[in-house]
Structure 1
Amino acid sequence: MTEIHTPRLLLRRWLPDDDLAALAEIQADPSVMRNIGDGAPRSLDESAEDIERWEEEWDDEGFGLFAVELLGSGELAGAVGLYVPDAPAQIAGHIGIQWRLGRQFWGQGYASEAAHATLEFALQDRGIDRIVAVTAPDDTSSAKVLDKLGMAPTGSAPDGRLLLFAIDLTEFEG
């Protein structure tokens, strides 16, 4: 089982019976989901489908979204990990990084800590040499995380609704 320990977090595979209720609560929050996918909150059933899809990606791709657990309490803080985006066209088929954390975990450095560990995993464990990301132009919090990771802006989606970022992991300072 793939696990990554950081000073404050455990990044691990999903345990549907244990994680579903907490993930569903996180993804039901419109503020959390505002810049993810179509921006709509997710139901319990949709969250179950997400966990199932992420676990299938782990099995098929050798990477996926980790469950992010607080080491001190065992509480599920959210999800962070790697995925293969299908849009926008400029990054479709590349390997991307994304995250979503419960609102009560914002502003504490958890997203940066988990995303940094994910980039190290991508390079060291999976041999991935380039990672892409997207963010909405008004999502300054995610833009700060991307900056801390060393990800550079590479343009925007044709409709201007997403900013594109990338990092060459051979230059990543893990």
Structure 2
Amino acid sequence: MKSLESQSTKSLTAERIEERHFPEICRLHSDREVMRTLSADGEVLSEAQTREGLERQCAHWERHGFGLWVFREMGSGEFVGRGGMQFSDIEGEPEPVVGLAYAVLSEYWGRGYATEMASLCLAVASEDLGRDRVSSWTLPSNRASQRVMEKVGFEYRREFTFAGLEHWYYEIGIGE
């Protein structure tokens, strides 16, 4: 399998998430608008919580050869968010699913960056990982995320509980 550590879209560059990205991920996790729908309690994350999550994301890359990327604007190099795919255990699924995840700093909302991240992930899942299915989920109140998923072809499947909260589960068949 080719290295997936660096990627790009029409507007963004992406690099494998690493410990050195801690300050940028802290910035994302302290953005109140982002965390309203990203954290389990709707609150910003502490540095300790962010470090713990970052360590898990780095370990996922080591174990599986893919994971989350840090995304930057192509022209400016400014950090805009993170996105990618990870294995996740989901209630009602017989085995871990490849789950799409993305988060964009609120100052960059409305520019199509989450859609670019999602589209890139689906291409990598199909072409590089040989996956035929990708899942994603969000809170019922997160219409922006639902629109991104629907725009790139995900279909709503069901409700389920994740991190102690009701979520909507979406799925897409790819590479068929």
TM-score greater than 0.5 by the shorter chain: yes
Which of 156, 159, 162 in structure 2 is aligned with 1:156? 159
> Is 2:121 the counterpart of 1:118?
yes
SS in 2 for 1:141: helix
CA-to-partner distance for each residue in 1:95-150, whole Å, 9 max, x for gaps? 11011111111111000011101110111011111001111111110011001110
Which of 25, 30, 33 in structure 2 is aligned with 1:31? 33
Displacement of 1:37: 4.2
Alignment partners' CA distance in 2, 1:9 and 1:161: 32
Q: Which residue matches 1:89?
A: 92
Q: Which residue matches 1:106?
A: 109
Which of 19, 22, 29 in structure 2 is aligned with 1:20? 22
Q: 1:89 to 1:102 in 2, by over 3 A?
A: same
Q: Which residue matches 1:130?
A: 133
Q: TM-score, normalised by structure 1?
A: 0.89
Which of 55, 62, 67 in structure 1 is aligned with 2:65? 62
SS in 2 for 1:88: coil
> Is 2:50 the counterpart of 1:47?
yes
SS in 1 for 2:166: coil
Unaligned runs of 5+ in 2: none
> Is 2:20 the counterpart of 1:9?
no
Task: Tell me the C-alpha RMSD between the 2 structures.
Answer: 2.0
Displacement of 1:7: 1.2
User: Among the aligned pairs, what percent are the same residue?
Assistant: 27
Displacement of 1:92: 6.1
CA-to-partner distance for each residue in 1:34-88, whole Å, 9 max, x for gaps? 2224133112232222222111101101211111111111111111010122333
Alignment partners' CA distance in 2, 1:88 and 1:75: 37
SS in 2 for 1:138: coil
